[in-house]
Structure 1
Amino acid sequence: MVHNTAIRLRKEGIGGYGNKVSGVALLHSYFWGTEPVGGEFSDTAFYYPGDMERVWDVACGGEFGRDHPYINPAVSPQEWCHLGSGRVLVTMAELCWFVERARVYAEGIKACGWAGELEFYETRGKKHTYFLFRPDCDDAAKELAVVADFVRHC
């Protein structure tokens, strides 16, 4: 949502507020698509393809496919340089089924001509949104510190 909102903000602006925000943070983003990216789908120990498709179908009422820019920004990389933010933070967990997409997204943002600053933070040995279930663990505290530092510098 935050990626698409920042793109839309740059295009349309918000009356009285302009067309840019200081920073956007994508925490364990939910990007998906029909074609595998990187080593995606190779480790079925934590990949549940049917679940991914069902969640997206429910979330959008079946209106948008898995290659719509709402869930797969890689289908419209020409839009990325219009990101309405000067800074982007992408956090991800190493054992998350979305990790390959997050890496590709971060690389694409850097390569597209966008003039901002990007930070990528990956937590080793953890799964998707681990911090929601173990907010008191050391890794969650470290990731929160990264987010807090990012916000402080926006």
Structure 2
Amino acid sequence: MAHNTAIRLRKDRIDGFGDKVGGVALLHPYFWGKEPLGGEPTDAAVRGGFERAWQVACGGELGPDHPYINPMASPEEWRQLGCGRVLVTTAELCWFVVRARAYAEGIKACGWDGELQVYDTMGEGHVYFLPKYDSELAAKELAVVADFVRRC
């Protein structure tokens, strides 16, 4: 949502806010696509579960290759990202780590003129910090996010 909002901000502008925000923080982004990328699961049942969740989230109106869930479908828009900084956090054992890392690499390569920061947590899964909010790793990730927000 944050990525797409920043793209839209640049295109449509919001009265009183111009066409940019200071930064966009993508915490364990839920990016997906019809075709498996890199080390993503290839099992049809696993992929189908993620696609059904997306169908519920978007009311069945948008497919798994829509740019809202698959920014790789429209990388030509990335240069229009309406922010000066992007933070992408993910975790090594997250289902979506491959796309989050590919997104970060794409942002670096697309000609966008902002600052990119990537933070990976080893040994944890998708949004591990929600059930393990009092863990040392969650505290470290929160510190990264807080520092990012402070500098925006």
| Cα separation, 2, equivalents of 1:39 and 1:88 | 24
Letter in 1 for 2:111: G
Q: CA deviation at 1:48?
A: 2.5
Query: Are 2:34 and 1:63 equivalent residues in the alignment?
Result: no
Residue 22 of structure 2 aligns to a residue whose secondary structure is: coil
CA distance in 2, matches of 1:26, 1:109: 13
Q: How does 1:4-153 map to 2 (within 5 A)?
A: 4-41=4-41, 48-153=46-151
Cα root mean square deviation, aligned: 1.2
Q: TM-score, normalised by structure 2?
A: 0.96
| SS of residue matched to 1:145 | helix
- The answer for unaligned runs of 5 or more in structure 1 is none
CA distance in 1: counterparts of 2:132 and 2:49, whole angstroms: 23
CA shift for structure 1 position 50: 2.4
State the shift of 1:5 in Å. Answer: 0.2
Aligned residue pairs total 151
* Aligned counterparts of 1:116 and 1:17: Cα–Cα separation in 2: 18
Query: What is the TM-score when the length of structure 1 is the normalising length?
Result: 0.95
Query: 1:81 Cα deviation (Å)?
Result: 0.3
1:55-104 residue CA offsets vs partner (Å, 9 max, x unmatched):
00111111000000010000100000000000000000110000000000
